[in-house]
């Protein structure tokens, strides 16, 4: 098990060149979103949204607001992963299944809902931070899920958030956090690039 995960982590590359002739099935796209939603989020907010861009028309609109980056057209699917603000408002509904399953008790749910409201209502920065955290964790989960299904992915922040929001009808409380392209790689992608030495980034405390 560890070896499988380690292999996925070490073999993942940021794919820019896709084999446009190899499609990804509807089932695979749905399964990727399902697995991405297994990512953790604060209080189990699940404050995310996944827009699956697959039609030539939608791809062209996305490319126009992604600085013309070609991979959003060549990849069979690009996920626009959004984080949502004011997540505390939807928390009771988000936690209901855990309550029904007996995983959380009513007192715990009530405590979390009250605490989230207290902390988030007057703190737009925290709302945004949590939106970015949730969407980013979901994005990474989706990337490894794709890798495990034999697909390759690429993360992208090279897009105009206002343009994406307008083109894809996002509400004011929905922030486009990251794009993830996915599909089968073509020739010519870089291998995974070397990372900084651990002693530059790791601190023992």
Ligand X SMILES: Cc1cc2nc3c(=O)[nH]c(=O)nc-3n(C[C@H](O)[C@H](O)[C@H](O)COP(=O)(O)O)c2cc1C
The site for ligand X (CB under 6 A) is made up of 13-14, 16, 69, 154-158, 178, 192-193
Judged by beta carbon, residue 169 or residue 194, the one nearer ligand X is: 194
Judged by beta carbon, residue 34 or residue 70, the one nearer ligand X is: 70
Judged by beta carbon, residue 102 or residue 150, the one nearer ligand X is: 150
Tell me 90's DSSP state. Answer: G
Q: Nearest distance from residue 121's CB to ligand X, in Å? A: 29
Q: How far apart are CA 147 and CA 9, in angstroms?
A: 9
Q: Nearest distance from residue 191's CB to ligand X, in Å? A: 7
Q: How far apart are CA 29 and CA 36, in angstroms?
A: 11
Q: Nearest distance from residue 101's CB to ligand X, in Å? A: 34
* Number of helical (H) and strand (E) elements in the chain, helices listed first: 9, 4
Q: Nearest distance from residue 18's CB to ligand X, in Å? A: 12
Judged by beta carbon, residue 20 or residue 103, the one nearer ligand X is: 20
Tell me the residue number closest to ligand X, measured at CB. 158
Nearest to 33 by CA among 134, 146, 128, 152: 146
Tell me 70's DSSP state. Answer: T
First to last CA, the chain: 29
Judged by beta carbon, residue 17 or residue 120, the one nearer ligand X is: 17
Q: Nearest distance from residue 13's CB to ligand X, in Å? A: 4
Judged by beta carbon, residue 27 or residue 200, the one nearer ligand X is: 200
Nearest to 154 by CA among 83, 78, 82, 81: 78
Q: Nearest distance from residue 197's CB to ligand X, in Å? A: 15
What SS3 class is residue 19?
A: coil
Q: How far apart are CA 33 and CA 38, in angstroms?
A: 9
Chain-centroid distance of CA 83 in Å reads 8
């Amino acid at each position: 098990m560890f070896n499988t995960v380690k292999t996925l982590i070490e073999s993942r590359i940021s794919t820019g060149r896709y084999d446009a002739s190899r499609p990804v099935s509807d089932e695979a796209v749905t399964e990727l979103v399902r697995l991405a939603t297994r990512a953790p989020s604060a209080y189990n907010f699940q404050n995310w949204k996944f827009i699956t861009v697959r039609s030539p028309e939608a791809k062209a609109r996305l490319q126009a607001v992604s600085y013309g980056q070609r991979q959003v057209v060549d990849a069979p699917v690009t996920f626009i992963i959004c984080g949502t603000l004011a997540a505390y408002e939807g928390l009771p509904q988000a936690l209901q299944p855990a309550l029904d399953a007996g995983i959380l008790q009513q007192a715990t749910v009530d405590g979390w809902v009250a605490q989230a409201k207290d902390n988030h209502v007057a703190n737009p920065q925290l709302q945004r931070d949590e939106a970015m955290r949730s969407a980013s964790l979901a994005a990474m989960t989706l990337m490894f899920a794709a890798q495990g299904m034999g697909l390759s992915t690429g993360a992208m922040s090279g897009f105009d958030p206002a343009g994406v929001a307008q083109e894809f009808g996002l509400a004011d409380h929905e922030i486009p956090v990251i794009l993830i392209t996915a599909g089968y790689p073509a020739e010519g992608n870089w291998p995974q690039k070397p990372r900084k030495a651990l002693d530059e980034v790791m601190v023992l405390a």
